[in-house]
């Protein structure tokens, strides 16, 4: 790797071997979904070979009112937060402060009993720790506006669903414990660590775990799968409590361009411009399958399961693709085989699952020059 690695600039699709017409077509799928009231907001950002070649927004920040969404509108990412939490932990691995093969109890002394001693740090990042996705008391904790620390207490005590490394189950609470390890080892809140070690160095000016310096009014409203009554509104996705809660598994805000910067850093082997954020070895570990013979491919934080039907990056990507999706209707992926990255942000997953795949396929189909 040279001293300087690709830093995103702006360019035309044709400069990097892509079709403007095809990218407009992919973006048009989002526009049509907004017009059909399946979603009320969306943005698409596409980069290739170090150039942002397409960026557009559709809809409004609030349904039927408010400012128009553009390419730099801020969305709640939901589970795209998870690989960013993993990135924070991997910085500490790079520095020799954490070992992936250490038992989690080495960093969380109260995490004892049952098979917990078998949970390694790496298991928390690849969804094979046996931890549940959500705590049984999740709703009651949110209803009471409890802080993240109360969720950590519950996660440290909740029963494992299976012996670690013997099965796969997507698990937000494993990511929560990984975040707690970051905080204990670094001595910083995760949101502050990510701001200082990831967002600020990369110039991700509109990204924060929680709200940071953002106001809710400056972000896109989240659609919900259920009709919110007055009580639910106090702890739901659009509440001040939840927007600034900073869930390590789903509480990050960002824009398409900011996420494109992070993806480009991954594609660069951990460097962005003249700034090394992650080691090359760390990026390689994060973006390759860590689950071996379990037939449940996952990296460290990033999904790496190729073009399987449940990947929201569609079926036209190359086998080396990595990325993540979010329950608010979001997906961010990078395809090293084509030096291509794509971020699709919407505000409601109810109708967006197939839409994310179709838009992603449209972006892959825009590559005319390999």
CATH code of the domain covering residue 289: 3.40.710.10
**How do strand 51-62 and strand 65-68 relate by DSSP bridges?**
antiparallel
Q: Looking at residue 362, what is its pLDDT?
A: 98
Answer yes or no: do 254 and 356 share one domain: yes
Answer yes or no: do 200 and 318 share one domain: yes
Of 152, 168, 188, which residue constitutes the final position of a domain? 188
Answer yes or no: do 67 and 114 share one domain: no
Answer yes or no: do 242 and 295 share one domain: yes
Q: Half-sphere exposure of residue 143, counting CA atoms within 13 Å on the CB side? A: 9
**How do strand 51-62 and strand 9-10 relate by DSSP bridges?**
parallel
In a domain, 370, yes or no: no
Residue 139 and residue 162: Cα distance in Å, rounded?
Answer: 23
pTM (2 d.p.): 0.96
Answer yes or no: do 231 and 290 share one domain: yes
In a domain, 337, yes or no: yes
Span 75-98, average pLDDT: 98
**How do strand 322-326 and strand 330-335 relate by DSSP bridges?**
antiparallel
Provide the domain count of the chain. Answer: 2
pLDDT in tens, 214-260: 999 999 999 865 556 677 789 999 999 999 999 999 999 999 999 99
Contact 324, 127 (CB under 8 A): no
Q: 51 forms bridges with which residues in the sheet?
A: 9, 48
Contact 22, 329 (CB under 8 A): no
The total of other beta-carbon atoms located within 10 Å of residue 145's CB is 14
Is pLDDT of 2 > 90?
no
Answer yes or no: do 202 and 153 share one domain: no
pLDDT band for position 351 (50/70/90)? Answer: low
Answer yes or no: do 48 and 92 share one domain: no
pLDDT band for position 8 (50/70/90)? Answer: very high
Residue 150 and residue 84: Cα distance in Å, rounded?
Answer: 22
Average pLDDT, the chain: 95
pLDDT band for position 4 (50/70/90)? Answer: confident
Domain housing 289: 9-80+191-365
Contacts of 179 (CB under 8 A, 6+ apart): 85, 88, 89, 190, 248
Answer yes or no: do 173 and 258 share one domain: no
Q: Looking at residue 247, what is its pLDDT?
A: 98
pLDDT band for position 365 (50/70/90)? Answer: very high
Q: Half-sphere exposure of residue 8, counting CA atoms within 13 Å on the CB side? A: 26
In a domain, 113, yes or no: yes
Q: Looking at residue 115, what is its pLDDT?
A: 97
pLDDT in tens, 321-336: 999 999 999 999 999 9
In a domain, 212, yes or no: yes
Of 124, 159, 188, which residue constitutes the final position of a domain? 188
In a domain, 209, yes or no: yes
Share of the chain above pLDDT 70, in %: 96
Q: Looking at residue 225, what is its pLDDT?
A: 54
Answer yes or no: do 281 and 270 share one domain: yes
pLDDT in tens, 150-159: 999 999 999 9
Give just the sign of the alpha carbon dihedral 322, 319, 365, 327.
Answer: negative
In a domain, 47, yes or no: yes
Span 45-64, average pLDDT: 95
- Say which residue the tokens 């639910």 belong to: 232
Q: Looking at residue 237, what is its pLDDT?
A: 92
Of 139, 160, 188, which residue constitutes the final position of a domain? 188
In a domain, 166, yes or no: yes
- Assign residue 147 the CATH number of its domain: 1.20.58
Answer yes or no: do 95 and 217 share one domain: no
Q: Looking at residue 5, what is its pLDDT?
A: 84
Answer yes or no: do 16 and 139 share one domain: no
Contacts of 289 (CB under 8 A, 6+ apart): 297, 298, 299, 304
Answer yes or no: do 168 and 200 share one domain: no
Q: What is residue 196's DSSP assignment?
A: I
């Amino acid at each position: 790797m040279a001293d300087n690695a690709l830093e995103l600039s702006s360019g035309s699709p044709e400069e990097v071997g892509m079709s403007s017409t095809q990218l407009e077509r992919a973006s048009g799928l989002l526009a049509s979904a907004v017009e059909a009231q399946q979603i009320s907001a969306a943005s698409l950002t596409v980069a290739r070979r170090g150039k942002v070649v397409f960026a557009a927004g559709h809809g409004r920040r609030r349904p039927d009112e408010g400012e128009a969404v553009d390419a730099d509108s801020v969305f709640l990412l939901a589970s795209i937060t998870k690989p960013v939490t993993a990135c924070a932990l991997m910085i500490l691995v790079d520095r020799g402060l954490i070992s992936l093969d250490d038992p989690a109890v080495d960093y969380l002394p109260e995490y004892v009993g049952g098979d917990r001693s078998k949970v390694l740090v790496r298991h928390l990042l690849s969804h094979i720790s046996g931890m549940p996705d959500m705590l049984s008391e999740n709703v009651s904790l949110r209803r009471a506006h409890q802080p993240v620390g109360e969720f950590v207490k519950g996660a440290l005590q909740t029963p494992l669903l299976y012996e670690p490394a013997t099965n796969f189950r997507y698990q937000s609470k494993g990511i929560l414990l990984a975040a707690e390890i970051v905080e204990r080892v670094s001595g910083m809140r995760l949101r502050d660590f990510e701001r200082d070690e990831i967002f600020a160095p990369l110039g991700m000016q509109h990204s924060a775990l929680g709200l940071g310096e953002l106001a809710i009014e400056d972000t896109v409203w989240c659609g919900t799968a259920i009709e919110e009554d007055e009580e639910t509104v106090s702890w739901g996705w659009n509440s001040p409590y939840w927007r600034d809660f900073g869930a390590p598994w789903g509480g990050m805000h960002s824009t398409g361009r900011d996420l494109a910067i992070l993806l480009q850093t991954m594609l660069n082997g951990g460097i962005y411009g003249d700034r090394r954020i992650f080691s090359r070895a760390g990026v390689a570990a994060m973006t390759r399958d860590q689950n071996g013979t379990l037939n449940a491919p996952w990296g460290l934080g990033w999904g790496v399961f190729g073009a399987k039907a449940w990947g929201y990056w569609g079926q036209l990507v190359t086998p080396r693709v990595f990325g993540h999706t979010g329950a608010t209707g979001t997906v961010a992926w990078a395809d090293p085989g084509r030096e291509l990255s794509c971020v699709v942000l919407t505000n409601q997953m109810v109708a967006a699952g197939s839409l994310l795949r179709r838009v992603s396929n449209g972006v892959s189909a825009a590559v005319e020059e390999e």
